[in-house]
Amino acid sequence: MDKIIDTNMVKVIGKVVSDLEFNHDMYGEKFYIFDLEVPRLSNSVDILPISISERLLIGLDLCLGQYVIIEGQLRSYNRYIDMSNRLILTIFTREIYVPDKEELNEIMRRPNEIFLDGYICKEPIYRTTPFGREITDILLAVNRPYNKSDYIPCIAWGRNARFCENLNIGDHIKVWGRVQSREYQKKLSSGEIEIKIAYEVSISKLEFLANENNRMEVYKLEG
């Protein structure tokens, strides 16, 4: 892989839980989307959106309930919905294959991994949960070819959260973690409550590149 691609790497293993749906066409190449159910160590699951080219589907009988391994990148794009722009995230597939049972049992120990190398592009937001858990939300800009960038919401916990609270816009960091889905409630103008799903990176480890941020040291923190 070249340096740019190395700034954004995702590997997930899970079960197909939705049918393929046509999403868009680019230069004559069709792209489809589907949902992948990826287990967590806590015995719950994440339902993650997958984007895939028709070219990767050749010879692959992708059906409901099938387990697959997907390697690619976490991509973002803006979509105009309900009179406002929304940031949409999807896992863009570069490789996909079906593991055998023996391989599946081995790799399911780490079914969800992501690495990002990017820059803080929004003021971090520090908060605590009702149970006193510390959280900091950050938005990471990750460069990719052709002068494009992906904007990835990330969430840090505990001492990582306390560290991220003091990051500045433009700071360069690397993060390791997993892609997670999270339900939240949105109150509509009618007064009704709508259940929505947000996607973000839950950070387990981060590295602050001080030499590229005019700071004195490199910090490596693990959750």
Q: What is the pLDDT of residues 1-40, one digit of tens each?
A: 344 458 999 999 999 999 999 999 999 999 999 999 999 9
Candidate from 65-69, 76-80, 90-94, 117-121 with smallest mean pLDDT:
76-80
The per-residue pLDDT for 222 is: 60
Of all residues in the chain, the percent with pLDDT exceeding 70 is 90
The per-residue pLDDT for 4 is: 42
Predicted confidence (pLDDT) per residue in 159-179, tens digit = 999 999 999 999 999 999 999
Residue type, 120: I
List the domains of the chain with CATH numbers: 5-109 (2.40.50.140), 115-222 (2.40.50.140)
Say if residue 4 is exposed, middle or buried (CB neighbours under 10 Å; 0-12, 13-18, 19+). Answer: middle
Quick one: which of 207, 179, 191 has its CA closest to 89? 179
